[in-house]
């Protein structure tokens, strides 16, 4: 049974603020205060409904809101649990996924899903200024891991002529940017990047271990070398429940 001491504030039945939203705010505060630790199970809906003296439907709506925000996570047939905090990436430096995880003290991993030397896709051809009939790229899709947990699904197309002999084994649990620098002397200089909300395909959701309707962050990146030549086009799907991007803005 849930201790009512956790919910001593109760809810205000006279305010126009919906009851489910009040419960969301209280649960969020309790999680932030540490009343529910990361990975711990939330009390069952029935017990929460009794503690707040509301219907289970109201509680379910509140929990769904927190799941959508990535604060809680549902595990089918098991229960609802407090999710780990989202990983933050500041978009002010050009870094690799491996470097980002190292800065957090986490072990980065990369599992190759597919690899081929092929003609560039229409998007990559346009971004990199390539001819679909004459130019070739190495196209590689990798599942990016942090401490063995899937974080992103990344499809990279890099101009084959700048890294001859690149193979799938090179990219298993290794940084492409590090390889380009050490093996072929390519120095990356800058990139342009766009981010937008999206919904994953069934295949993408399965690989990322998320529900098919869970929101994701879709990212496109064009990377340039020291000669200001576009050499890489990347399409990445990041888990919306585990990742957030921070952009620093300055007014001159």
Domains of the chain, residue spans: 4-82, 87-246
Residue 101: which pLDDT band, with cuts at 50, 70 and 90? confident
The answer to whether 226 touches 120, Cβ cutoff 8 Å, is no
Q: Which of 109, 235, 93, 238 is nearest to 175 (CA)?
A: 109
Mean pLDDT rounded to a whole number for the chain = 87
- Pull the structure tokens for residue 90: 């500041």
Rounded distance, CA 18 to CA 155, Å? 43
Return the bridge partners of 244, or none: 88
Residue 9: which pLDDT band, with cuts at 50, 70 and 90? low
The CATH number fitting domain 87-246, selected from 3.40.1410.10, 3.40.50.1220, 2.60.120.680, 3.40.50.80: 3.40.1410.10
Q: What is the pLDDT of residue 244?
A: 76
2-6, 38-42, 220-224: range with highest mean pLDDT: 220-224
* Share of residues in the chain with pLDDT > 70 (%): 94
Longest dimension (CA), the chain: 70
State the CATH class of domain 4-82. mainly alpha
Rounded distance, CA 144 to CA 176, Å? 12
Rounded distance, CA 38 to CA 141, Å? 31
Q: What is the pLDDT of residue 2?
A: 53
pLDDT at 215 over 90: no
pLDDT at 3 over 60: no
21-25, 116-120, 212-216: range with highest mean pLDDT: 116-120
What are the DSSP calls for 207-226, one per residue? HHTS-TT--EEEEEEEEEET
What are the DSSP calls for 144-203, one per residue? EEETTEEEEEEEEEEEGGGSTT--GGGGTTS-HHHHHHHHH---EEEEEEEEEEE---HH
Q: What is the pLDDT of residue 198?
A: 93
Q: Which of 130, 128, 114 is nearest to 223 (CA)?
A: 128
Q: Please provide residue 117's backbone torsions phi and psi, each rounded to the nearest 5 degrees.
A: -90, 120
pLDDT at 155 over 50: yes
Q: Please provide residue 222's backbone torsions phi and psi, each rounded to the nearest 5 degrees.
A: -115, 120
11-15, 76-80, 94-98, 159-163: range with highest mean pLDDT: 159-163
Residue 115: which pLDDT band, with cuts at 50, 70 and 90? very high
pLDDT at 4 over 50: no
């Amino acid at each position: 049974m849930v201790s009512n001491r956790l919910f001593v504030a109760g809810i205000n039945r006279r305010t126009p603020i919906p009851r489910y939203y009040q419960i969301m705010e209280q649960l969020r505060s309790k999680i932030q205060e540490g009343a529910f630790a990361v990975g711990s199970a939330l009390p069952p809906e029935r017990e929460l409904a009794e503690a707040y003296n509301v219907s289970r439907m109201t509680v379910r709506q509140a929990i769904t809101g927190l799941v959508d925000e990535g604060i809680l996570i549902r595990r089918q047939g098991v229960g609802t649990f407090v999710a780990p905090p989202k990983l933050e990436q500041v978009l002010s430096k050009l870094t690799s996924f491996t470097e980002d995880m190292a800065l957090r003290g986490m072990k980065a991993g990369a599992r190759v899903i597919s690899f081929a030397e092929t003609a560039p896709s229409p998007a990559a051809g346009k971004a990199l200024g390539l001819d679909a009939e004459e130019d070739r790229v190495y196209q590689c899709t990798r599942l990016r891991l942090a401490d063995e947990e899937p974080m992103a699904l990344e499809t990279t197309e890099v101009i084959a002529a700048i890294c001859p002999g690149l193979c799938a084994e090179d990219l298993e649990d290794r940084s492409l940017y590090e390889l380009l620098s050490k093996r072929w002397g390519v120095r990356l200089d800058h990139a342009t990047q766009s981010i937008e909300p999206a919904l994953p395909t069934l295949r993408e959701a399965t690989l990322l271990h998320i529900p098919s309707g869970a929101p994701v962050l879709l990212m496109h990146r064009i990377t340039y070398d020291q000669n200001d030549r576009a050499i890489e086009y990347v399409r990445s799907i990041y888990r919306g429940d585990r990742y957030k991007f921070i952009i620093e803005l300055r007014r001159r």
